[in-house]
Amino acid sequence: MTGLSAIELEDVVKEYHSHGEVVQAVKGVTLDVAEGEFFSLLGPSGCGKTTTMRMVAGFEAPTKGLVRLRGQDVTNVPPNRRDVNMVFQSYALFPHMSVWDNVAFGLKQRRTPQEEVRRRVGEMLEIVDLTGREKRMPRELSGGQQQRVALARALVNRPRALLLDEPLGALDLKLRQAMQIELKRIQREVGITFVYVTHDQNEALTMSDRIAVMNDGLVEQLAGPRELYERPATVFVAGFIGTSNLLAGAATGGELRLGGGGRVLVPGHDGDVTVTVRPEKITIGTDEPAQGLSAVRGTVAEVVYLGTYNSYTVSLADGAGATERSEGADQTQHHSDGRSAARGGTTITVFQQNAVDA
């Protein structure tokens, strides 16, 4: 460890001028990526992920702010003089070249000695598990194999950092999931810093050491997968990562009171609050809930069988007549963004694990 971050963005802004209008694609992003880290930029379409990535690569110049690579200011350094490489969703292999020649291309261009080319391409094909397919042409490969060739081609140059923009987007779900595990393994094996752009939260959670969740040109939260899930910092993050139930209203005496005698304990948070509760942290029961537990009253409106668990949609009671109740043992609190309190018509989602058959 050198103590230097692989990549740093300091208050980076990117504005585009389009049809007489100014579009702020990135509105002030500050983050740092550690050496050897698998780092993801996660967010919905149009939130500024690709623009942020392109500023790291040098394809776009920031309107404001600084980009540093290993402590060096590269804000005005062109892409070919930054020690980073980028892999795109459309992996654009040379169609008339074999797997081997595709991977060797960059090294040959740099007049790398033949023996070294042979060794490095051989090693890299082994890492991406394509040994034995050296002579194949791209059209003779599956989508996943083509993607691994593209990865080998980018990694063989040994960049300090590899930037990947939705590289698995074109693959079907099964293959994408298999490639996620592969990518993580490859990244560990080569020890290169990866920055990964995706709008798929599962993908980001599966692979990343840390994730910057972006929304509307800003980073909402930067944390590891577990922390993002367990302690979302904003309502947006709670909703974007996994399924979340949001209950909002004015809390008094450390409690948010809901219709039908329901209550959510929010110790130390009086005033407007928004509480998020994960569906699997709620249990459904018909007994009176124990003292000191959060509980809401409602009616099960729908049950969907999902294999390992069932998903219950519970309509919360706004008065009498409710027959079911759900208890939430765990919740996180957030200050409200002005949403109205839970009232009739509010539903929550509850996941209950299906028991193992006796």
Q: Which residues bind ligand ATP (CB under 6 A)?
A: 16, 18, 23, 25, 43, 45-51, 199
The minimum distance between CB 198 and ligand ATP, in angstroms, equals: 8
Tell me how far apart the terminal alpha carbons of the chain are, to the nearest angstrom. Answer: 52
The minimum distance between CB 15 and ligand ATP, in angstroms, equals: 9
Q: What single-letter amino acid sits at 252? A: T
291-294 LR contacts (CB < 8 Å, sep 24+): 292/265, 293/265, 293/327, 293/328, 293/329, 294/263, 294/264, 294/265, 294/327, 294/328, 294/329, 294/331
The minimum distance between CB 242 and ligand ATP, in angstroms, equals: 19
| Residue nearer to ligand ATP on the CB measure, 46 or 224 | 46
Strand, coil or helix: what is 214? strand
Cα 296 from Cα 292, distance rounded (Å): 13
CB contact set of 262 (below 8 Å; sequence gap of 6+): 295, 296, 297, 298, 316, 317, 342
Structure tokens at 334: 């957030």
| Residue nearer to ligand ATP on the CB measure, 31 or 152 | 31
The minimum distance between CB 317 and ligand ATP, in angstroms, equals: 40
| Residue nearer to ligand ATP on the CB measure, 47 or 168 | 47
The minimum distance between CB 14 and ligand ATP, in angstroms, equals: 8
The minimum distance between CB 43 and ligand ATP, in angstroms, equals: 6
The minimum distance between CB 28 and ligand ATP, in angstroms, equals: 14
Q: For residue 90, what is the DSSP state?
A: S
| Residue nearer to ligand ATP on the CB measure, 27 or 257 | 27
Q: For residue 87, what is the DSSP state?
A: E
| Residue nearer to ligand ATP on the CB measure, 59 or 309 | 59
Cα 150 from Cα 174, distance rounded (Å): 19
| Residue nearer to ligand ATP on the CB measure, 45 or 286 | 45
| Residue nearer to ligand ATP on the CB measure, 21 or 288 | 21
**Residue 355 phi, psi (nearest 5):** -65, 155
| Residue nearer to ligand ATP on the CB measure, 217 or 225 | 217
Q: Are 21 and 55 in contact (CB under 8 A)?
A: no
| Residue nearer to ligand ATP on the CB measure, 16 or 94 | 16
Q: Can you say whether the dihedral through the CA atoms of 275, 277, 283, 285 is positive or negative? A: positive
Cα 62 from Cα 54, distance rounded (Å): 10
- Of 252, 335, 348, nearest to 299 (Cα)? 348
The minimum distance between CB 200 and ligand ATP, in angstroms, equals: 10
Structure tokens at 182: 């592969």
The minimum distance between CB 21 and ligand ATP, in angstroms, equals: 9
